[in-house]
Amino acid sequence: MSFNCEIISVSEVLYHGKADSLSLPGIEGEFTVLTNHSPLITLLGTGIIKLHYNEDSMFITVSQGTVDVRPDKVIVLAGVAENVKDLVLDECQQQAINAKERMDAADNFNSEDYKNAKNSYKRAQNRIKAIQLYGGK
């Protein structure tokens, strides 16, 4: 059995269709949603969304967001989300290098510059991991 699923970022709808299972990076760890899952609203952390429907799979990197789980529908609202097949490894590696340099240049660990750079670095590392596991460009 399947359920309806929407994965939406600030800039685009990444997926609108059916899913048999959906694994999500919650802030307390990864969890999987199947049809008739108990209702749940929770926060997402940085990680990889794994969507499976019939014989097809889709992998999406995500950083921050919310998920609304209902027995017959799941809605993911992500701050930043990208289809792994659209990611380019060289670009992601350069993003990680740039973010690391910004972290090193920050005045202190509590500064906004450091926190923003650290979040950028974490997102870049997540993209690299996703490409290594599930392919990209």
Q: What is the pLDDT of residues 73-121, one digit of tens each?
A: 999 999 999 999 999 999 999 999 999 999 998 878 878 889 999 999 9
Residues in CB range of 114: below 8 A, 6 or more apart: 103, 106, 107, 108
pTM reported for the whole predicted model? 0.90
Q: What is the pLDDT of residue 136?
A: 67
CA distance 102 to 110: 14
Q: What is the pLDDT of residue 24?
A: 97
What SS3 class is residue 100? helix
Count how many Cα atoms sit within 13 Å of the Cα of residue 1 in the half-sphere of its side chain.
Answer: 9
DSSP 116: H
Confidence of residue 1 (pLDDT cuts 50, 70, 90): confident
Is the confidence at residue 123, as pLDDT, over 90? yes
Q: What one-letter code names the amino acid at 43?
A: L
Residue with tokens 């048999």: 20
Mind giving me the DSSP string for 32-78?
EEETTPPPEEEEE-SEEEEEEETTEEEEEEEEEEEEEEETTEEEEEE
Query: How many residues make up the chain in this entry?
Result: 137
CA distance 58 to 130: 11
Is the confidence at residue 2, as pLDDT, over 80? yes
CB neighbourhood size of 44 (10 A): 21
Determine the average pLDDT of the residues in 7-25. Answer: 96
Q: What is the pLDDT of residue 18?
A: 97
CA distance 63 to 51: 16
Query: CA dihedral defined by 117, 12, 84, 137, rounded to 10 degrees?
Result: -90
pLDDT in tens, 18-51: 999 999 999 999 999 999 999 999 999 999 999 9
